Structure 1
Amino acid sequence: LARRGYAIDAIELGENMAAIARRALASYPQAHVRVGTFEQADIAEGMYDLVTSATAWHWVDPTVRYVKAARALRPGGALAPFWSVHVHTDADGGFFEQVQKVYDRLVPELTQGTEPMRHVEQLPEAERTEIERSGLFGPVAVRRYGWDEPYTTARYIALLSTYSNHRTLPDERRQHFFDAIAALMDSTYGGRIVKGYAAMLYVARRT
């Protein structure tokens, strides 16, 4: 959005992440980042063409998010939250079936209650009903964008290290778990795997 020349008012909960965002946007004087919550932020009413959120909208208080977004938008402005999710891809060579066995053996609590991976076209439109029930927006358009992302062993372990439920494992147990995944990747998949992703985008205009 910044590269396209849009004026941006971004709200980031964490000071560290806000600092990273400011550095990334340093070349775009029309982009501003403030620290705080969407719920408590002082947002001008009827001033914005778009309210969007990247894989974070579900953290915003449901009694506040749609009302505040609608108030911030000009008539006809759009709410467009989106999420990225892990999906099944035939390009993974069966890796995620095999790595599930590592989870089951070493950290079974991390996958308890999780659902099997779906193909992109099978993803449920989870947010559509909530947006419609708010009564503040028109028809909801849903878009799915799928892609395959390649990972080396080192890059995939680095990715896992960003997951909060993986990070909170005891150090020794986490390292043993990561070593087992790395061994699987290196011995069976030549140190390279492919992970499927999809972005689910919901777009609804303020009525």
Structure 2
Amino acid sequence: MTVDKEAAERLANSFGADAARYDRTRPAYPGELVRKIIAVSPGPRVVDVGCGTGVLSRPLLAGGCEVLGVEHDERMAEFARGTGVPVEVSKFETWDPAGREFDAVVAGQSWHWVDPEAGPRQAARVLRPGGVFVALWHVFAPPEPISQAITGAYQKVAPELPFRAGQTREEAFEAYQAGCVRTGEAFVGTGAFDNAEQWRADWEHSYTTAEYLDLMRTMGPMALLGTEQVTGLLDAVGGAIDAFGGSFTMHYNTLAVAVTRN
């Protein structure tokens, strides 16, 4: 999705509008990848970039890490604090670590919001030698009939919106995989990182009609729609899921890129 600067800012600030729904519906991170982050980190001190409500922070805390969230949206930060995650409110690029050094910097579904030049420099600044940076993204697409309904609904209610709702799962996977490669190259290109690795975990999650519509309400493009457009979109997608049997299984690929501070 390509949007102008003003729309991008609206998107970035939209997720905290209903932090509880965001936390309730957003997919968790596969345990195998959480364990891998803990295993490759040379110590327990972790910064979670754009931690949101703490979806990634909490399993890291449960695994014995000392996690500090950095989140620009106070509403999301407040929710995360309520679940036991310490959070400092700031954009990562301008965050002041106050001389603190960390063993790992992680970013779950958030690194694309970080400045591509300032972000790696800031990560290098806060990581100890041998520390690791890991960014993760979920790749998913509903079954074809539901995906087609989403595409048709967007085209009907918001034809002006530059959102690739009809992207196939294969296309999405290739795009995110390429993004992981670019992220690794950007870090290694600073001269402060090496050993770029690609990680992957495949898993599934089942949704009822109500559960998926709940998730859709937290997705970025919704922030660019008016109330009637949102209603029309959800009605169309809900009807498609009901026609599909009232539930479906989503196949997820969680991709990650990891680099080591030299």
TM value normalised by structure 2: 0.67
Alignment correspondent of 1:48: 102
Alignment-derived partner of residue 148 in structure 2: 97
CA–CA separation in structure 1 for the residues paired with 2:119 and 2:214: 33
**Deviates further, 44-53 or 153-162:** 44-53
AA paired with 1:168? L
2:149 and 2:99 map into 1 onto residues whose CA distance is 51
CA RMSD, Structure 1 to Structure 2 (Å): 2.4
Residue of 52, 72, 83 corresponding to 1:24:
83
- Distance in 1 of aligned mates of 2:164 and 2:245: 31
Residue 9 of structure 2 is matched in structure 1 by: none
Counterpart residue type for residue 246 of structure 2: G
Verify the 8 A CA contact 2:200 2:253 in the aligned structure 1.
yes
Structure 1 residue 161 displacement after superposition: 1.0
What is the aligned partner in structure 2 of residue 58 from structure 1? 112
SS in 2 for 1:124: helix
Alignment partner of 1:124 out of 161, 177, 184: 177
Report the secondary structure of 1:108's partner residue: coil
Displacement of 1:79 in angstroms is 0.8
**1:86·1:196 contact (CA, 8 Å) conserved in 2?**
yes
Structure 1's unaligned 5+ residue stretches are 26-30
Deviation at 1:87, TM superposition (A): 4.3
Q: CA deviation at 1:120?
A: 8.2
Sequence identity (%): 28
Shift of 1:200: 1.5
Per-residue CA deviations over 1:139-183 (Å, capped at 9, x if unaligned) read: 200112222221111111111111232243221232122112112
Residue type matched to 1:116 in 2?
T
- Distance (Å, rounded) in 2 between the aligned partners of 1:97 and 1:113: 11
Q: Which position in structure 2 is the counterpart of 1:10?
A: 69
Letter in 2 for 1:42: D
For the pair shown, which has the larger CA radius of gyration, 1 or 2?
A: 1
Aligned to 1:191: 246
In 1, are the aligned partners of 2:108 and 2:137 still within 8 Å (CA)?
yes
Deviation at 1:112, TM superposition (A): 4.8
Gaps of 5+ in 2: 1-59
TM-score (norm 1): 0.83
- The CA distance in 2 between the partners of 1:189 and 1:131, in whole Å, is 44
1:137 to 180, 193, 208: 193
Residue 252 of structure 2 aligns with an amino acid whose one-letter code is Y
State how far apart, in whole Å, the 2-side matches of 1:99 and 1:183 are.
11
Tell me the equivalent position of 1:28.
none
Is 1:205 paired with 2:257? no
Of Structure 1 and Structure 2, the greater helix share is in 2
